[in-house]
Chains A and B, each alone.
Chain A
């Protein structure tokens, strides 16, 4: 569904087969664990069995004595000879703990051996003496003054730092208008308390990294990462090694969703390689992934929303506590920036509390912090609609943020597509026929995510046959070789097939920030567009002497170079063959810093559920995802992002959680017990792509990866409420939870 007049593109908007596709359907593509180097050793991590403990001593002698073991490393190796492990930063503590372990699964040592079986045996022989401390797992409990303290030096960032040690990392306050006056002006006020559990990104490929430290200090790393450049920088800092001596080659990546931004294995493999003089590969297993990487926070959110009797939102308040896991983060701060973003509300006050608990250090997961915030807020919007007897979509439309609306950060939005998404939802074939049948309910919800721009850099080289190589630095996590090649083809007016995209290592292209924040098709697309323009300019300069006309006489339009008088002309490919075929090589680059504000993206969900009153099982009958893509470069992959986000949201809503026992151990650290949605659990996911071009991008592109996961949690909760009459304030809405709430037990 195109909302505004869109230029007639030739390549953008088509659905070509992705250039890396053949390798991925035939098993040729090399992912993190597929790197097999001659003579490589296998590494394994020794992990803490305790949620909170002081490390008294680490004895590696028995492990080192095992036949086939080549080296063991601990935090001492990060500190360097004679270094003080107690001063190592959080980032180092999280890859090899020194003084304390703050969560079960935190790595304390690593071994390298001639094979993985011996490495696993050696890990068991490492003896760590712990003094076990009381632990805290719940975010609100951790905020209490009597909670076990994780970090004695922590003081709260924010208005009231306090005197003593605390687990509250930061208190973020966002306030606009006059909250008390705002609520006083409301005819209807709804409020409730919500909570969500820690969940994992659930990428199917576990982390895996191989490092080779050469005698001259040149360190080569092959890793499955969402950011080869950030990984290089992190390794440089952690290893105190110059960036110029580190090359990171990103392998194909088997999913990330935010979970493969931080480094875990790369610096450890590097240390083991330096010690042994051999390449070292470390691969996580699934338990390592669940216990030792960064899931996304559990939350506790209290919200209050008020409106006038005609449905205009007047005031909103939220108190949001987000788990940061073992080390300081900024999840709750993000939440303050998104929770009310979808609506114009004059009086807003938001308190965000970032809190450490004895769980893995949390990381971003697709539109980080927004789904839990929307789970709370969008249910209140639904309650308001019921109380005011208004259609829930129309109520949202009446209050929706648009161009010029002040978002929760106080600054005005540029052109955004929230209203258009809501109108598309209202007019959709899904929404119009009412849902019929017992125990069934329909729910809707909106979602917002910023998207970011950041830095991208690409190199473009013309080959003698007039085809073009496009080398970029961002891992292709879901079809970006295709979406970038399409934008280059559009810019220089050639066929998609004439562009050969590749992902290269950190030595071979300028700086690229993470493959995250829905930024690659957006920001790298801008770099590609710039490179394309540079290429046309350079070809024009080289063409002028050949055509014996001044440069100013040559125009490029619609894929064709021509003189203004029309006497001479040639397509890009013809000219490129002519100029480069026998001439000197031609490489240009495009580099951008697209900043933080990338235009923002709105998504919407309509979902029908059926709740089994006997078992409490929630079945998703029908789901429609609606999203503003700006311009959909490759519509099939835009749909794929929307469908993928929707199903991750379905899993988060009804199944997934980190289930902890009393000792602070995750009791469900396998795919059997931490149950991702399967093909049997979901229907086809219908999509409506809305295209409100992004004024910040030459082709109007918006990031599409993240917004789709924001609405489903609330949309499903609203649907379950309509099916059962009971509001769901806690996730996951597992069969047990549904029975407890609908039968009034538990």
Chain B
């Protein structure tokens, strides 16, 4: 394959520079080049949402974005959702509501739900189910996940997020 391209992007608030092959997906770059394995590969074709990241404010499947497309962009992955020791309300409610079993889909769900609640803090069950239809979970039957997102929305409305 041809040479590697220099890419510079802001990932979880930090400026990061890396080299990547043009054929490498953002997911590969995150996992294999940058060692950030929190974003998971479940299907590698955009059907399961396990690799969801927020890129330039938009929820994307990192497996369907090329690494080089990150140039100059801003990316939030699961590793950047908590601030230090403070868990994000979604992380807290996923734990409290037992919204994970095996946990492989959890990073994608939390990132996807964050993308929703950041824009639509009043999302109701129907909206949450619609938004999360791009994320597959095989363990929970979604019940406790939807409850966790509703509960987090409630918490976030009561305590505006620190910026």
Contact = CB atoms under 8 A, between A and B. Distances in A.
Interface of A: 15, 17-18, 20-22, 24-31, 33-34, 36, 117, 201-206, 252-257, 283, 285-286, 477-479, 634, 636-637, 639-641, 643-648, 670-672, 676-680, 682, 684-685
B103 A254 contact: yes
A502 B50 CA distance: 25
* Most chain B beta-carbon contacts within 10 A, residue among A31, A671, A677: A671
Interface in B80-103: 81-82, 87, 91, 94-98, 100-103
B56 interface: no
A257 to B, nearest CB: 7
A205 B132 CA distance: 18
B103 to A, nearest CB: 3
A636 B87 CA distance: 21
Contacts of A117: 1, 21, 23
B141 to A, nearest CB: 3
Closest CB pairs A-B (n = 8) = A27-B38, A254-B104, A647-B141, A24-B103, A643-B141, A671-B47, A636-B98, A478-B101
A286 B101 contact: no
A148 to B, nearest CB: 33
Contacts of B32: 36
A679 B144 contact: no
A680 B129 CA distance: 5
Interface size class of B (residues with CB under 8 A): 35 or more
A206 to B, nearest CB: 7
B136 interface: yes
A27 B37 contact: yes
Contact of A26 (B35, B50, B81): B81
Contact of B87 (A25, A283, A684, A685): A25
Contact of A203 (B79, B102, B106): B102
A31 B141 CA distance: 21
A667 to B, nearest CB: 16
Nearest to A26: B82
Nearest to B47: A671
Given A25-B110, A670-B47, A36 B143 contact: no
A641 B91 CA distance: 21
A15 B98 contact: yes
Nearest to B128: A679
Nearest to A34: B37
B130 interface: yes
Nearest to B110: A25
B44 interface: yes
A34 B147 CA distance: 29
A204 B103 CA distance: 10
Given A252-B102, A636-B97, 19 more contacts: A17-B96, A21-B95, A26-B87, A29-B103, A33-B31, A33-B37, A34-B37, A201-B138, A203-B102, A478-B139, A634-B98, A636-B144, A639-B144, A640-B139, A644-B101, A679-B128, A679-B137, A679-B145, A679-B146
Contacts of B82: 26
Nearest to A205: B104
Given A36-B37, A253-B102, A678-B133, A685 B138 contact: no
A30 B37 contact: yes
B38 A17 contact: no
B143 to A, nearest CB: 5
B43 to A, nearest CB: 5
Nearest to B132: A679
Contacts of A680: 129-130, 132-133
Interface string B102-121: 11111100100000000000
B140 A640 contact: yes
A680 B137 CA distance: 12
Nearest to B97: A636
A739 B143 CA distance: 30
Given A25-B87, A685-B143, A672 B104 contact: no
A20 B102 CA distance: 10
A22 B135 CA distance: 20
A672 B48 CA distance: 9
7 contacts: A17-B96, A27-B38, A36-B32, A205-B40, A205-B102, A257-B138, A637-B101
Contacts of A641: 101
B18 interface: no
Contact of A255 (B31, B78, B104, B129): B104
A200 to B, nearest CB: 10
B35 to A, nearest CB: 7
A286 B44 contact: yes
B88 to A, nearest CB: 8
A203 B138 contact: yes
A34 B39 CA distance: 10
Contacts of A679: 128-129, 132-133, 135, 137, 142, 145-146
Contacts of A252: 102-104
B123 interface: no
Given A670-B47, A672-B45, A24 B142 contact: no
B104 A31 contact: yes
